[in-house]
Amino acid sequence: MPKDIYAHISDQELLEKFKRDQDNLWLGILLQRYTLMLLGVCMKYLKDEESAKDAVQQVFLKVITELQKYPVDYLKSWLYTIARNHCLMQLRDKTQLISVSEGMNLADDSIADFTSFDKEQTLIHLEVSINELNAPQKTCVTLFYLQKKSYQEIVDSTGFSLLQVKSYIQNGKRNLKLLVAQKMSQS
């Protein structure tokens, strides 16, 4: 079946047909239009063709479930955002920034200077320093880095706004680095 037969149907019309009929044919036509864009987005972030292809497939699966839950007005930008967020989550999972239980330190250049120190000593400083953060920063840093929660999951569980969560994580990470650096210099 040539894909050109549906070229006259807009994205919005295809989306409405999919929601009305619950027929994956309409969604398939729609997603086929954006496959190359999604592959490009995933390549941009993941830098590996096979990983990017896998990510596009996972994005397709996510789109199928998410389209049922949310109204989508601008499909192209919505798809781009879904793909970008998926790739960022994959990258975050690959390079977990803090994991006290696994003995890793912050994967940041400013902490890399401390690699000559004993890892156990660094972990002790890190655990102590996390407890010295103010309560919102400690909560958000712990949920984000140690429990691998997304921004939205943190918003839902804490009641903070998305901007507050991002700010607490950013400031908490900065303060944590400063506190650890201070303790390391005193060791």
Paired with 104 in beta bridges are: 99
pTM of the prediction? 0.49
Q: Average pLDDT, stretch 101-126?
A: 52
> What's the pLDDT score for residue 159?
93
Q: Collect all residues with Cβ–Cβ distance below 8 Å to 24 and sequence separation of at least 6.
A: 18, 64
Confidence of residue 122 (pLDDT cuts 50, 70, 90): confident
Report the number of secondary-structure helices (H) and strands (E) in the chain: 9, 0
The verdict on 125 and 80 lying in the same domain is no
CB distance 172 to 141 below 8 Å: yes
Specify the DSSP class assigned to residue 8.
T
CB distance 93 to 136 below 8 Å: no
The verdict on 54 and 70 lying in the same domain is yes
The verdict on 32 and 73 lying in the same domain is yes
Of the three residues 59, 75, 94, the one that is the final residue of a domain is 94
The verdict on 19 and 67 lying in the same domain is yes
> What's the pLDDT score for residue 55?
92
The verdict on 65 and 106 lying in the same domain is no
Q: What's the number of domains the chain is made of?
A: 2
CB distance 79 to 63 below 8 Å: yes
The verdict on 7 and 80 lying in the same domain is yes
Q: How far apart are CA 130 and CA 119, in angstroms?
A: 16
Give the range of the structural domain holding residue 36, as residue numbers without chain letter.
3-94
The DSSP result for 74-128, as a single string, is -HHHHHHHHHHHHHHHHHHHHT-S-BGGGTB---SHHHHGGGGS-HHHHHHHHHH
Domain with residue 78: its CATH number is 1.10.1740.10
Q: How far apart are CA 3 and CA 9, in angstroms?
A: 11
The verdict on 110 and 151 lying in the same domain is yes
Query: What are 82-103's pLDDT values in tens digits?
Result: 899 898 888 887 654 444 444 4
Query: What are 11-68's pLDDT values in tens digits?
Result: 889 888 888 888 888 888 888 999 999 999 999 989 889 989 999 999 998 888 888 7
Instruction: Look at residue 181 and tell me whether its pLDDT is greater than 50.
Output: yes
The verdict on 57 and 40 lying in the same domain is yes
The verdict on 125 and 83 lying in the same domain is no
> What's the pLDDT score for residue 139?
93
Among 116, 85, 107, 104, residue whose Cα is nearest residue 187: 116
> What's the pLDDT score for residue 168?
93
Query: What are 131-175's pLDDT values in tens digits?
Result: 899 999 999 988 988 888 899 999 999 999 999 999 999 999 999
The verdict on 122 and 81 lying in the same domain is no
Q: Average pLDDT, stretch 95-124?
A: 49
Query: Which pair of tokens denotes residue 96?
Result: 């977990």
> What's the pLDDT score for residue 156?
93
Domain with residue 115: its CATH number is 1.10.10.10
Of the three residues 54, 79, 94, the one that is the final residue of a domain is 94
The verdict on 9 and 90 lying in the same domain is yes
The verdict on 108 and 73 lying in the same domain is no
Of the three residues 78, 94, 110, the one that is the final residue of a domain is 94
